[in-house]
Amino acid sequence: MPKKQNVQIKKIRMKKIIGIILIASFLNSCYYDKEEILYPTTESKCNATNSDFTSVKITIQENCLSCHSNSSASTIGGSIKLEDYADVKNYAENGKLLGTIKHESAYSAMPKNGAKLNDCKISQIENWINSGTPNN
Amino acid sequence: MFTKKILLITSLLFIFIISNAQDIDDLMNEASNDVVNYTTATFKSTRMINGHSTETVKKKHLDFRISHRFGTVNTGISNFFGIDQSTIHLAFDYGINDRLTIGYGRSSYNKTYDLTLKYKLLQQSNGKKNMPISMTYYGSIEAFSRPFANTDRTNYFTSRLTFVNQFLIARKFNESLSLQLIPTIIHKNLTPTVFDMNDVFAIGIGGRYKLTNRMALTAEYYYAYHSKRSITEYNNPISIGIDIETGGHVFQIMLTNSSIMKEGGFIYGNDNGNIFNGDIHLGFNISRMFSFN
């Protein structure tokens, strides 16, 4: 009988240890990182006043073209193309580009299923539109 | 300001405790019983609406869940009031025993994978053993697999992680009414600015009111404390829904201001819509239970 009890106690102990490991794994690997401290250069790289089409194009390439390139627009991009200057200018002028990236109501929020662009990039695009969408 | 909020939260807790005292007479009558009567079906499903409920999956049962949130209603007829777009979450929750549930899920929002653990600590009961509340611990790790927007910098895997810890405290007041209080801590490893907090404390309140045997009205709200100096717009999630039970399935339909179905997303609240602008999403959860007995 005592042998049986021992086995039972061991089983309970094993269960407890497994429980503790499971809980500990949920509490582990915490970091307190802030993007603007961790990557101090990225903010200076984005300059809202430097709003030429070259900079806007980089933002669009990084965030939009995975769906809205000339080749993929018809399948996953809702037939909205943003690869060429003329196309971007068109959506900039009818207000859809700014409405979607600013997550304004009555516009479909972009990037779809992703985080909003950072404020610097949004104001860069806004400044470019306000200066008359030049091709520079 | 902060102390005021703490006072508000504690007073809410007290109301919750005091309201329990009303049942003392009932409990005294039943105290003579020699058997323990466990309260069952505090909620119909393991989810309230977006968040979890105190319910766990039964031993050797698999709960397969498909959830959808459509686009915002205010996008108008051209987007069929949001139904043209959708966010999906798939979840597999398995009951190791009646108290312990482990889960795995994948969400299209930021292409997020998640691992969850749920353990029922207390089960509401009366008779020989008196327990006024049910309490469940819920923990989750969420990792988004969407590529980082900036590939020039050194990106760390840990930056992808969000941790959620919750205590779900619920009481079934009578056959129709169940209420739940949800103290929550969310930890995000990486936030954009110094004013966006890595640790966010939140308190949720939710409830269910049974309309018929197969239908119930549910509602849920979370208040999350964020720094007022942050320029990010945070919106607290608020939802209202209907649970419909049809043999083996639980079907939940809801209106909510969040298209995200994981705690690290919708309670944190940086991508939630503002209901006053009409950013309301229609959505549904379908749950199908499989038995391996």
pLDDT in tens, A46-66: 677 777 888 888 888 878 888
* Closest by Cα among B252, B253, B256 to B267: B256
Confidence of residue A124 (pLDDT cuts 50, 70, 90): confident
Residue B194: list chain A partners with CB under 8 A. Answer: 34, 36-37
Which tokens is B125 given?
Answer: 């009961």
C-alpha B47/C-alpha B200 separation (Å) is: 22
B192–A36 C-beta distance less than 8 A: yes
Residue among B79, B87, B192 minimizing CB distance to A113: B87
- Is residue B210 within 8 A of residue B176, CB to CB? The reply is yes
Write down the pTM of the prediction. Answer: 0.70
B190–A63 C-beta distance less than 8 A: no
- Tell me the mean pLDDT in the region A24-48: 69
How near does any CA of chain A get to the CA of B271, in Å? 7
Q: What angle do CA A24, B111, A96 make, to 5 degrees?
A: 140
Considering the domain boundaries, does residue A84 fall inside one? yes
Ordered structural domains, chain B, with CATH: 2-291 (2.40.160.40)
Which tokens is B89 given?
Answer: 């979450």
Q: Tell me the residue type at B131.
A: M
Secondary structure (DSSP) of B2-62: HHHHHHHHHHHHHHHHHHHHTTHHHHHHHTT-SSEEE---SSSSSBSSSSB-S--PPTTEE
B163–A30 C-beta distance less than 8 A: yes
Considering the domain boundaries, does residue A25 fall inside one? no
- Which one is predicted more confidently, B281 or A42? B281
Number of folded domains that form chain A: 1
Question: CA-CA-CA-CA torsion for A51, A52, A53, A57, nearest 10 degrees?
Answer: -50
Considering the domain boundaries, does residue A12 fall inside one? no
Residue B165: list chain A partners with CB under 8 A. Answer: 26-27
Interface pTM, i.e. ipTM: 0.70
How near does any CA of chain A get to the CA of B5, in Å? 24
At A43 the pLDDT is 47
pLDDT digit string (tens) for B207-231? 999 999 999 999 999 999 998 888 7
- Is residue B127 within 8 A of residue B155, CB to CB? The reply is no
What DSSP state is assigned to residue B171?
E
User: Strand pairing partners for B187?
Assistant: B163, B199
C-alpha A35/C-alpha B188 separation (Å) is: 12
Residue among B153, B163, B194 minimizing CB distance to A26: B163
Which tokens is B40 given?
Answer: 């069952």
User: Strand pairing partners for B91?
Assistant: B65, B105
Question: For residue B76, with 0-12 CB atoms within 10 Å meaning exposed, 13-18 middle and 19 or more buried, which class applies?
Answer: exposed
Chain A, nearest residue to B74 by Cα: A106
How near does any CA of chain A get to the CA of B285, in Å? 18
Residue among B76, B117, B149 minimizing CB distance to A26: B117
CA distances from B9 to A129, B4, B6, B180 (A): 46, 9, 5, 14
DSSP SS3 for B134? strand
Confidence of residue B25 (pLDDT cuts 50, 70, 90): low
CATH code for the domain of A113: 1.10.760
- Range of the structural domain that residue A97 is part of: 47-130
Most confident among A91-100, B148-157, B199-208, B271-280 (mean pLDDT) = B199-208
- Is residue B120 within 8 A of residue B134, CB to CB? The reply is yes
Average pLDDT, chain B: 87
Pairing status of strand B112-122 against strand B125-127:
unpaired
Residue among B72, B108, B190 minimizing CB distance to A35: B190
Residue among B117, B146, B231 minimizing CB distance to A22: B117
Mutation target to probe the B interface, by most B beta carbons within 10 A, among A21, A28, A34, A38 is A34
Q: Is the pLDDT of residue B137 over 90?
A: yes
Q: Phi/psi class of residue B127: alpha, beta or left (left: φ > 0; alpha: ψ in -120 to 50)?
A: left
> Tokens 């994981």 belong to which residue?
B262
User: Strand pairing partners for B239?
Assistant: B220, B256
Q: What angle do CA B240, B99, A1 make, to 5 degrees?
A: 170
